[in-house]
Structure 1
Amino acid sequence: MPKKPPPVFPQEQQNLTDLGERLKLARLRRKLSSMVVAQRAGISRTSLYKVEKGDAGATLGTYLRVLAVLGLDGDIKQLAADDKVGRKLQDLALTQ
């Protein structure tokens, strides 16, 4: 029996759905078929379909491989890059 992914909060699911749509749009703009992207990413077409649908069960590695094939992997560096809350907490701890 396949593992069922843990439940996701609605906002998280919306973020994944939006990401999947943007990845599909990027693939179509590049005029790449799902077969080509899946082959280049080393994943199945089913896995690519899950990514493009924002499936929470798709691994982060799968999303990263698709981003790399589309030339968008540099964007991943922006995630959590500006941790304002973390820095404020760290600064508060230093002043105590």
Structure 2
Amino acid sequence: MASKTLTVFSSEQKIFAEVGKNLFRARKRRSLSAEVVAARASISRQTLYRIERGDPATSLGLYYRVAIIVGLNHPFDTEDPVGRRLQDDLLGKEPESPPTRSKAKKDGGTN
């Protein structure tokens, strides 16, 4: 059976990208490594990187699982008061952007 092509509208892609950024920031604010979060979620680092980049082809269940692991009640929450306090107290600056595809390959992540 041929697989269907996923059609994603730009407005939907923006939502996925924002959710991915929120998850990435929450992970960084809590000083959790990609390896730790991926292991706790039973996914590869590559899949975690795809989630943090907002890949719409990744299961919403995995977005939710990662959100719970990093301490968000729901992946579509726009506020992270605990993470903001941690960031203000510990990091003192905004975390860098989620890794690009080339960085993920350098880390040796597999599916």
Same fold (TM over 0.5): yes
Name the CA shift for 1:76/1:45 in 2 (closer, same or farther; >3 Å).
closer
2:55: which partner in 1?
Answer: 55
Q: Which has the higher contact order (CA 8 A, sep 6+)?
A: 2
User: Unaligned regions of 5+ residues in structure 1, if any?
Assistant: 79-96
2:26: which partner in 1?
Answer: 26
RMSD: 2.0
Distance 1:27 1:19 in 2: 12
Q: CA deviation at 1:24?
A: 0.3
Distance 2:35 2:61 in 1: 18
Structure with higher helix content: 1
Deviations 1:32-86 (A, max 9, x none): 11000000111110110000000011101110110110121x33698xxxxxxxx
Contact 2:68 2:74 in 1 (8 A): no
Distance 1:6 1:44 in 2: 22
User: Unaligned regions of 5+ residues in structure 2, if any?
Assistant: 78-111
TM, length-normalised to structure 2:
0.62
- AA aligned opposite 2:35: M
TM, length-normalised to structure 1:
0.71
1:43: which partner in 2?
Answer: 43
Size of the aligned set, in residue pairs, is 75
Runs of 4+ in 1 over 2 A off after TM superposition: 74-78
Contact 2:8 2:56 in 1 (8 A): yes
**Structure with max Cα Rg:** 1
Q: CA deviation at 1:7?
A: 1.6
2:104: which partner in 1?
Answer: none
Q: Percent identity?
A: 44
1:68: which partner in 2?
Answer: 68
